[in-house]
Amino acid sequence: MVRDVYIQPGEIFFGSGAVRLRTLLGSCVSVVLWHDGKRCGGMCHFMLPSRSGSRISGFDGRYADEAIAILRREVVASGTRPGEYRTAIYGGGNMFPDGPAPHFDVGGRNVYAAKSLLGQHGFLVEKEDVGGRGYRRLTLDLRTGQVHCVQAASGSSD
């Protein structure tokens, strides 16, 4: 039996086995990792590129820099290296295309942060499904590494 785990904003999951990770992304971004040899992987769901102000304690998965550092820590703890993973980025949609000025494009800033930070941490991004309008439903099956992503335009019904 497969256990479905819904990844909320700010959450991170890394593991293996009969688990299917699911999330819903708007301007948020998920990084998906899969290791073919070890048959393990993970997903994070972050909301913003970085935290403003000082860090009180520990890492917070709501921020790209901290979420990716947590994923890297999990990778190393599993006895693997970042470059061994199939890495993909999803999300960063423009939820308000007719809204405020471009510098408020949270989705675009999140995608840029993910790409930069993954490279800094030694991950090689093989795939991305980012930007555009609306939200995405994302699933990662940790039994197989199969990813399924469906994008829906904002304001449309599913």
What digits encode the pLDDT tens for the residues 92-125?
998 876 666 556 789 999 999 999 999 999 999 9
Residue 157 has pLDDT above 70, yes or no: no
Domain map (residue ranges) of the chain: 3-152
Residue 20 has pLDDT above 50, yes or no: yes
Query: How big is the chain by its Cα radius of gyration, in Å?
Result: 15
Residue 101 has a pLDDT of: 58
Task: Write out pLDDT tens, residues 43-79.
Answer: 999 999 998 766 667 889 999 999 999 999 999 999 9
Residue 104 has a pLDDT of: 74
Residue 43 has a pLDDT of: 98
Q: Does domain 3-152 have CATH number 3.30.1330.200?
A: yes
> 144: which residues sit within 8 A by CB, 6+ positions away?
none
Residue 152 has a pLDDT of: 85
3-state secondary structure 87-138: EEEEECCECCCCCCCHHHCHHHHHHHHHHHHHHHCCCCEEEEEECCECEEEE
Angle at 81 between CA 78 and CA 82, to 5 degrees: 110
Q: Is 103 exposed, middle or buried (0-12, 13-18, 19+ CB in 10 A)?
A: exposed
What torsion, rounded to 10 degrees, do the Cα atoms 123, 127, 129, 130 define?
Answer: 40
